[in-house]
Amino acid sequence: MRQLKGIPLNSRARIIGKISKNPAKTRETKNCILATVSIEKRLRGFKAVLCSTAIEEAKTIRLKIPIIHSVENIEALSEGDIVSLDMMTGDIIVVYERNSIHNSVLASTDCNCRCIMCPQALAANSKENLKNNIEIIRMMDKRTPALGITGGEPLILGDGLIKLLKQCKKQLPETQIQILTNGILLKENDYVRSIARLRLRNLVFCIPLYADTDTEHDFIMQRKGAFEDTIQGLYNLATNRQLVEIRIVVMSLNSKRLPKIAEFIYHNLPFAIHVAFMGMEVEGMARKNIEKLWVSPKAYSPYLRDAVFYLFQRNVNVSIYNEQLCLLPKDIWNFTYKSISEWKNIYLEDCLECSEKSRCGGFFAAPYGDHKAQIHPL
C-alpha cells in the first residue's frame, strides 16, 4: 500500500479516517482527516490533520487535534481516500484509494497454508484488525468499482468474515467483491451456505489451483489434502450458486502442465466464470525458494499459449496477469491485463523506450535478476 510520512503531534494512537481537502467542509467531518498545506486557525470536528509545511510545536499546542506535519508528497492523497495514521511514528498508510480499481482489504494476516511461493509476510491475527477493516469499509465510496478481500487466508476469520461481508453489502451494494482464498475452509458446506445466504450480488471467490494432480498441488501448498479440500470447496460454491474464478500461479513445478491444468479445469470446473494465469510475485517465500521455483516466462510461454487457447476455444473467459508483453508471443497479448496494483507497479529503464509500455502490465516492485535480464523494449 502507498505510504507517506510526517512528524506526529498531539496523539500516540492509531487513527483511521477519510481524507478531506476542504477545511470549510463541516458535513461528515467526524471521520475526516484534513489534508492541507498549512494549518489554519479554526479546525472544528476533524479527526486529525495532515499538512505539508512544517509547523512549530508551540503554536499548535492549543489545538488539541492530532496532527502530522511536514508530510512529503501530500498531493498524492485524494479526496475520499482512507488513511491509517500511526501517531507514534508519523506513518500515513493509504488503505483505500478512491480513484483506484485495485483496492483491497487485508482481512487476515494469518493463513492455514505455507505455500512455497507465498509472497506475503504472515502474522497472527489481531481482533483490532477486523474492527478496523469494518470501519474502513464503512468509509468507502459507494461507487467503488471493485474491492479485494485478501490475506493471508480471509476464511480463517470464520464468522468475522461474515460480518465483514455484511458491511460490504450495506456500504458497497454495487461493488465487485473478490475474496482471495485458498478455498480449503469452503469444504464445510454449512459455511458456504451461510455466505451464500448474504446474497451479495457481485461476490466472486478467487481460488488458486496450482496443479492438475493432488500430489503436486499439495506439495506447492505444503499441506496434505489441500487439493481434495479445495475441489470440494469449489463444488460447494457451485452448488450454492456462488461465482468462482480460478487462478494459476505459474512456476517451474507446474509450467509444463499448464495445458493439462486448463483441461482439468474445463472438464471438472466448467462453472468457473474466469480463469487467470499469473506470473509469480517474487517476494517472501517465493524469494527464499526462487532457485527451485524460477522458470522464465519466455521458457513457459509456449505452454501458457496452449493453455490459454485451449480455454478460449471452449468459450471460457481466460486472462493472463502479471506478465510482460516482451516475453510473451504476440498472439496471446489480447489475454493480458494490467493487473498489478498501481502502488506496486513499476517499469524498468529499458521499458521507458518500449512502444507497448501503455499496454503492458509492467512489474511488481522487484523483478528477479534472470527475469530482468530478458526484458527488452519493443
d(CA 241, CA 271) in angstroms, rounded, equals 9
Coil, helix or strand for 267?
helix
Nearer to other proteins, 94 or 226 (CB): 226
Q: What is the 3-state secondary structure (H, E, C) of 123-185?
A: CCCCHHHHHHHHHHHHHCCCCCCEEEEECCCHHHHCHHHHHHHHHHHHHCCCCEEEEECCCHH
Nearest to 319 by CA among 334, 341, 298, 340: 334
Stretch of residues binding other proteins (CB under 8 A), selected from 32-40, 63-71, 101-109, 267-275: 267-275
**What are the two backbone dihedrals, phi and then psi, of residue 159, each rounded to the nearest 5 degrees?**
-60, -25
- Does residue 241 bind other proteins (CB under 8 A)? no
Of 42-50, 118-126, 211-219, 242-250: span binding other proteins (CB under 8 A): 211-219
Q: How far is the CB of 319 from other proteins (least distance, A)?
A: 11
31 φ, ψ (degrees, to nearest 5): -95, 5
Choice from 107, 140, 209, 231 touching other proteins (CB under 8 A): 231
Binding piece for other proteins, criterion CB under 8 A, among 21-29, 56-64, 121-129, 310-318: 310-318
Site string for other proteins, 314-353 (x = CB under 8 A): xx--------------xxxxxx------------------
Q: Is 213 in the site for other proteins (CB under 8 A)?
A: yes
* Identity of the residue, 10 or 213, whose beta carbon is nearer to other proteins in the bound complex: 213
Report which secondary-structure segment, H or E, holds 368: none
CA angle (173, 179, 180) in 5-degree steps:
160
Q: To the nearest whole angstrom, how small is the minimum distance from the Cβ of residue 363 to other proteins? A: 21
CB burial of 31-43 (b: ≥16 within 10 Å; e: otherwise) equals: bbbbbbeebeeeb
What dihedral angle (degrees, nearest 10) is formed by the CA atoms of 327, 330, 332, 337? 70
Q: Give yes or no for residue 96 binding other proteins (CB under 8 A).
A: no
Question: Other CB atoms closer than 10 Å to residue 13's CB: what's the count?
Answer: 12
Count of positions (residues) in the chain: 378
Kindly tell me which of 106 and 360 has the beta carbon lying closer to other proteins: 360
Cell 503531534 appears where? 9
268 scored as a contact of other proteins (CB under 8 A): yes
Nearer to other proteins, 146 or 327 (CB): 327
235 forms part of the interface with other proteins (CB under 8 A): yes
Contacting range for other proteins; rule: CB under 8 A; set: 110-118, 137-145, 226-234, 342-350 = 226-234
- Determine if 312 is a binding residue for other proteins (CB under 8 A): yes
222 makes contact with other proteins (CB under 8 A): no
Least distance between other proteins and beta carbon 266 (Å): 7
**Which of the stretches 95-103, 230-238, 280-288, 290-298 binds other proteins when contact is defined by CB under 8 A?**
230-238
User: Which residues contribute to the site for other proteins (CB under 8 A)?
Assistant: 212-215, 227-228, 231-232, 235, 257, 260, 263-264, 266-268, 270, 309, 312-315, 330-335
